[in-house]
Structure 1
Amino acid sequence: MNSALSVNETGAIQLRTEWSESHSVWLRWPYREEIWPQQPGELAPVQQEFLLLLQELADAQIPVNLQVAVGHTDAVQALLAKQAFSAALAIQLHEVAYGDIWLRDCAPFAAKQTSKNEQASAWHFQFDGWGGIDDQFNDDIQARNWLSEKLGLLKLGAGIAEDKMVLEGGALHHDGEGTAIACAGSILFRPGNDGLTAAEFRLKLQGCFGIEKVLMVPGRLAADETGGHVDNLAAFIAPGEVVIAYTDDASHPDYATCRRVFDFFDDAVDAHGRAFVIHKLPLPRAPRLSAAEAVDIKQRHGVRRRIAGMPLMASYVNFLRVNANGDSASGGFASKLIVMPGFGLPTDDIARNLMAKWLPEYRVVTVPARALLVGGGGWHCASFVY
């Protein structure tokens, strides 16, 4: 890296929102046998789900940049060439060493625009493999640095600013108007942030991103292996407007948490004093890792063991939102797409229809994500939009 600015050396950047205009979706191809169930000579179920996601992105004419692990490019290229959607999909493969596929969590926090030479183009924070549950996190850090260079962020403004705080992309949502939401579990209680207080965290976000108000959403969902990422629990869909995971089933393990989160937003106001419009997405009971899936995972030391019967983090809040708008050089396309995760449940249709009602200007689709859950995340976690 050719830049290591600190909070005191660069002004706050205006952070991109979930609905900021973008040019493409970035993804990573899943390949690790110690995370994903695989049969020799067959596509892993999670890889089949990625092909379905690529199909939807092709239908929406949204370009894709796909990172592929070293040594896997030829196989992935041959696989994609056989797909019916390949002719319509503008996809570029990049061979990069990375640990896991959760690109959102170890990606640059990029500025919406960099207007001053002394202003950073993005922030890099520390990444520790979600508190040490995956020992290949250093590869993810190097892949993040590669991505920032590929996007040209090192050459914009003052380049990349860095901070020693551990902060993942799925741990923070914001509205673009000074309000952010986060969960304490994945930030204040992370070993890499030992001693960090809520007040210090708020000051950090103010210095880095100009955030005026940080709302620490109470609790976390029981199956969340990150310590508590807000992108499973609540998300902004517009300034002053949030969607939350919710259940009315008093026997649900997360019932009390859902009630606390609703009451929290019902009582809160944003940085401009506005009360929140609260939308509820159904929260299904966590599916369980099957014995057949567990047998097909090559468990090893250094990576979280995935054992039969463990709950999998299924949340419709973990959706991918794309507001793609290409310039004339890239075809002049424009496409608004929301990809909801599907779990093979009746609530899949309910969640998709609700999101289409709340954001009618977007095309809303469901892409199966049950196999994706085995690795601990959803389509929001697995993507980066820029």
Structure 2
Amino acid sequence: MLQKITDSKPVNDGYYMPAEFAPHDGTIMIYPVRPGSWGKDRSGALKAFGDIFIEILKRENLYLLASKEDFEEARLFVDTLLVKLKVQGEDEDVLKTMEERCLILPIESDDSWARDVGPTFVTDGEKSIRGINWSFNAWGGDVDGLYASWEKDDLVAGKFLDMCEIDYYDAAPFVLEGGSIHSDGEGTVMVTEACLLSEGRNPDLSKEEIEKTLKKYLGAEKVLWLPNGIYNDETNEHVDNVCAFVAPGEVVLAWTDDEDDPQYEMSLEDLEYLESETDARGRKIKVHKLPIPDYPVLIDQEDLDNYEFEEGEDQREVGERLAASYVNYYYINGAALVPQFGGDNEESDKRALEILRDLCKNREVIGIDARSILLGGGNIHCITQQIPEN
């Protein structure tokens, strides 16, 4: 019977947050419809989402959330993707497996950031998983939140866990997004001070109190507090855009050698911090630099004209620099999906793939055109939330 656990914490029950590179049962995503993120013309975003859907379905389950109003459109969209694969000659048995792996759930949301509004999963290491339901307030609430209403998003995690009959811990009213935490699966969790100490999250808690909460819910023994994230990241600099574990004791760090780029000092501070620290097992942390795009990805007039913002929603302007980073890639079973930005950044796109292929030797490293997702305010990692194997 489904249980909402209120009298204990994951650490007391032997549960911990696994590494993202650990085996998955599947991935949660949300069908994109919000015009302030994906535009009046959503074709670019749907192409990117569709490419990701296909790569996931080849390897693991996809839990796609859609409101009742958009449910049929989402179903037809997935059906169309599979039909295209059939026309291209994909094996019938493979297509049947892919179709069976796609579960579309009638859950409404304010937008499509599954990483941030979905549940965080913890495991006991013996095939049992539980969820965590955090409070969500649109990355800053009334202080600097990105839209005025976030009530639907705040309910997504609980609804998903209820619908899938997964026991869970209710961490409310503690505010946290999935993109603001990263785990090595061996007791170490990374965050950024810029995000977790921002005024719009948990202003009544000290850094020490926030760390204790993370340790209790994530089963962590040590929290690494990187100073910064990516320049101009509207999430108050989530860690998932600047630094990620590729293995226990090893991370990739967003980097630039251009000392005139505002990212340089930010990444340098992070590098100096990481080089001065050890992980929960006492290991020195090996840092692999993963350069950001050679050229800033900027909003142009055509992009701006496609947006349709709601009242109270954070708006954009021509020339605005987007928080483009290759660190915001996503592990699925047997593969890693890596953002590609195109245009002047073809060479840096290729370089990122080469670096990650060297680091992920047992995975297929796949580039995904992610500019449309970046225009929405995030990247591949932001629109996905993994469910560990159970």
Which of the five TM-score ranges fits, normalised by the shorter chain?
0.7 to 0.9
Amino acid at match of 2:184: D
Amino acid at match of 2:162: E
Alignment of 1:308-347 (within 5 A): 308-323=318-333, 336-344=334-342, 345=345, 346-347=347-348
Q: Is 1:264 matched up with 2:273?
A: yes
**Cα 1:97–1:9, aligned 2, differ >3 Å: closer, same or farther?**
closer
Higher helix share: 2
Aligned partner (choices 191, 196, 202) of residue 205 of structure 2: 196
Alpha-carbon RMSD: 2.3
* 2:163 counterpart residue number: 150
**Cα 1:9–1:123, aligned 2, differ >3 Å: closer, same or farther?**
closer
**In 1, Cα distance between equivalents of 2:266 and 2:211:** 23
Aligned partner (choices 177, 180, 188) of residue 189 of structure 2: 180
Is contact 1:11-1:120 (8 Å) kept? no
**In 2, Cα distance between equivalents of 1:223 and 1:291:** 19
**In 2, Cα distance between equivalents of 1:173 and 1:82:** 34
Amino acid at match of 1:286: P
* 1:100 counterpart residue number: 111
Instruction: Classify the secondary structure of the residue corresponding to 1:100.
Output: coil
Is contact 1:121-1:153 (8 Å) kept? yes
Structure 2: runs of 5 or more not aligned = 87-91
Select between 73-82 and 295-304 the one with higher mean Cα deviation: 73-82
Q: What is the TM-score with the length of structure 2 in the denominator?
A: 0.87
* 1:332 counterpart residue number: none
* 2:89 counterpart residue number: none
Q: Deviations over 1:275-332 (max 9, x none)?
A: 1111111112431111111112112212111222221111111011013xxxxxxxxx
**In 1, Cα distance between equivalents of 2:296 and 2:166:** 39
**Cα 1:366–1:295, aligned 2, differ >3 Å: closer, same or farther?**
same
**In 2, Cα distance between equivalents of 1:361 and 1:354:** 14
**In 2, Cα distance between equivalents of 1:9 and 1:172:** 16
1:367 Cα shift?
0.5
* 1:205 counterpart residue number: 214
Structure 1: runs of 5 or more not aligned = 324-335
* 1:326 counterpart residue number: none
Is contact 1:55-1:85 (8 Å) kept? no
Instruction: Classify the secondary structure of the residue corresponding to 1:225.
Output: coil
Select between 95-104 and 206-215 the one with higher mean Cα deviation: 206-215
1:115 Cα shift?
7.0
Aligned partner (choices 135, 155, 159) of residue 126 of structure 1: 135
Select between 162-171 and 64-73 the one with higher mean Cα deviation: 64-73
Is contact 1:299-1:306 (8 Å) kept? no
Q: Is 1:166 matched up with 2:175?
A: yes
Amino acid at match of 1:351: A
**Cα 1:95–1:151, aligned 2, differ >3 Å: closer, same or farther?**
closer
**Cα 1:290–1:270, aligned 2, differ >3 Å: closer, same or farther?**
same
Is contact 1:125-1:166 (8 Å) kept? yes
Q: Deviations over 1:128-148 (max 9, x none)?
A: 011121234211122211111
**Cα 1:264–1:290, aligned 2, differ >3 Å: closer, same or farther?**
same
Q: Is 1:36 matched up with 2:49?
A: no
Aligned partner (choices 140, 151, 157) of residue 138 of structure 1: 151
* 1:51 counterpart residue number: 50
Amino acid at match of 2:52: L
1:371 Cα shift?
0.7
**Cα 1:17–1:10, aligned 2, differ >3 Å: closer, same or farther?**
closer
1:114 Cα shift?
7.8
* 1:296 counterpart residue number: 306
Select between 270-279 and 74-83 the one with higher mean Cα deviation: 74-83
**Cα 1:2–1:177, aligned 2, differ >3 Å: closer, same or farther?**
closer
1:230 Cα shift?
0.3
1:202 Cα shift?
1.7
**Cα 1:247–1:3, aligned 2, differ >3 Å: closer, same or farther?**
same
**Cα 1:6–1:297, aligned 2, differ >3 Å: closer, same or farther?**
farther
Select between 277-286 and 235-244 the one with higher mean Cα deviation: 277-286
1:97 Cα shift?
0.8
Is contact 1:114-1:121 (8 Å) kept? no
Instruction: Classify the secondary structure of the residue corresponding to 1:85.
Output: helix
Is contact 1:314-1:373 (8 Å) kept? yes
**Cα 1:120–1:161, aligned 2, differ >3 Å: closer, same or farther?**
farther
**Cα 1:8–1:62, aligned 2, differ >3 Å: closer, same or farther?**
closer
Q: What is the TM-score with the length of structure 1 in the denominator?
A: 0.88
Is contact 1:166-1:187 (8 Å) kept? no
* 1:351 counterpart residue number: 352
* 1:24 counterpart residue number: 26
1:77 Cα shift?
2.6
1:76 Cα shift?
2.8
1:178 Cα shift?
1.4
1:262 Cα shift?
1.4
Is contact 1:109-1:169 (8 Å) kept? yes
Q: Is 1:113 matched up with 2:124?
A: yes
* 1:330 counterpart residue number: none
Instruction: Classify the secondary structure of the residue corresponding to 2:253.
Output: strand
Select between 236-245 and 60-69 the one with higher mean Cα deviation: 60-69
Amino acid at match of 1:295: D
Amino acid at match of 2:196: I
Q: Is 1:374 matched up with 2:375?
A: yes
Structure 1 moving runs of 4+ over 6 Å: none
**Cα 1:180–1:251, aligned 2, differ >3 Å: closer, same or farther?**
same
**In 2, Cα distance between equivalents of 1:53 and 1:94:** 18
